[in-house]
Amino acid sequence: MTGVKLNTAAAQGKYHLVMLALAFAIAFLLHLLLFAMAPMVTTIMAEMNLSHADFGLVFSVIVIGLVLFRLPWGLFGDRIGYLSAFRIALPLSAAFALLRAFAPGYPTLLASQFFLGLGLAVVLPCLPLVVKEWAPKSPGLGTGVYISGFAAGNATALALTPRLLEMLSWREVLLIYSALAVLVSLLWWALARSAVKSTSGMQLRNFTRILKDRYVWVLLFFLMAAMGSYDTLTTWLPKVLEMKGLDPALASLLPLGFFLAGPTIGLVSDRFASMRALIALLGIVAALAIIGINYAPFPLLMLCIFLAGFSTIGVLTISLAVPAHHPRLSPMAASVAGLISSLGNAGSLVMPVLFGFLIDVTGTFHASIFAVAALVGVILVLGSRLSE
């Protein structure tokens, strides 16, 4: 038994808000724990005598854990159900978040980061299963709810952590965040319910079905474009604004678009007649908004930055919602989400490097901005023309 049986549709209807709130909390926790150390760079480097490259590995190793274990968690979630998967993964995440706060040295810090990534890797593959069961009539909105949790966690990590560091040590701040991980784990064990033990009897050998499905690869390229462009702009936009002689803080409009895109685009996608047309529209908006960063005057530039975040994360929302309700992909939704979210990180690895390379070659950011806009526009518009 993986959870409390819900025998009536009415019972499900009364409880779906609780489950979506838990999904939001889990997404919030992922980005809170992932980005919490960003404001701690100087403090941790000084205490552990680390180079910039050493600290860069501290962040990279958790991403490696996320990428390596998303697909296994997806297969696991399809096999035993999301309820059990989160019951295992959330306590693991809390345990390694606690270990990170008490890490006596660099090797332990790296190990705790890697295994924290292992636990948190469950999030993207298995949250679509929560949406599939608890928001079957509005999968876009359900997905958008937890997508906004990522933005809230990111913003909290970057805005609250520096304030806490004024009063507490970095270890004490991480201890507070790990206590939140324990709380989310306890809430899941106490409140989470599911009417099914698993979403599929899928075996590992049947995974070839996913690899042979053309639409899975279309979704993968959508995610590469959306994640790669957003992460690239997040990395480089403050520098671009500085080169334009503007306040780098204007880059905060990008995550504002992230936060609002989830529920807004999710709600629209549930009512939009053609998902492919919506993807194409968002691709055009994204390309034009990103190009606008090059040339738009100041008031309009703010709108371009916001729309760049809004449109790219809108595509991410739609792409992650599809596996939960697509007739062919739904029985293996977690495995599909695990695959596309793992390989989708290729865009985030390649595009920021290309952006910086073009600045080095040309001496300006214009070609870099054009490259991101072209990649996003071409992939999303052409990909939207392929049949499901």
Domains held by the chain: number: 2
Domain C-terminal end among 193, 220, 235:
193
Is the residue at 376 inside a domain? yes
Which of residues 134, 166, 193 is at a domain's end? Answer: 193
Domain interval for residue 140: 9-193
Q: Are 175 and 98 in contact (CB under 8 A)?
A: yes
Residue 59: HSE in the Cβ half-sphere, 13 Å Cα cutoff: 15
pTM beyond cutoff 0.75 = yes
CATH number, position 230: 1.20.1250.20
pLDDT exceeds 60 at position 114: yes
Distance of alpha carbon 144 from alpha carbon 267, whole angstroms: 8
* Burial per residue of 137-147, b for 16 or more beta-carbon CB atoms within 10 angstroms, e otherwise: ebbbbbbbbbb
Q: What band does 331 get if pLDDT is binned at 50, 70 and 90? A: confident
Task: Please give the biggest Cα pair distance in the chain.
Answer: 64
Last residue of a domain, one of 137, 168, 193: 193
Classify residue 200: in a domain, yes or no.
Answer: no
Residues above pLDDT 90, as percent of the chain: 52
Question: Are 178 and 213 in a shared domain?
Answer: no
- The answer on pLDDT for 109 being more than 50 is yes
53 band by pLDDT with thresholds 50, 70 and 90 = confident
Q: Is the residue at 199 inside a domain? A: no
Q: Which pLDDT score, from 0 to 100, does residue 303 have?
A: 96
Q: Are residues 218 and 272 in the same domain?
A: yes
Kindly state whether residue 3 falls inside one of the protein's structural domains. no
Identity of residue 91: P
Residue 388 belongs to some domain of the structure = no
My answer on whether 248 and 165 are in the same domain is no
pLDDT tens for 57-108 read 888 888 889 989 999 999 889 888 999 999 999 999 999 999 999 999 999 9
Helices (H), 192-332: 208-211, 214-243, 253-271, 275-295, 298-325
The answer to whether position 73 is within a domain reads: yes
On whether residue 201 sits in a domain, the answer given is no
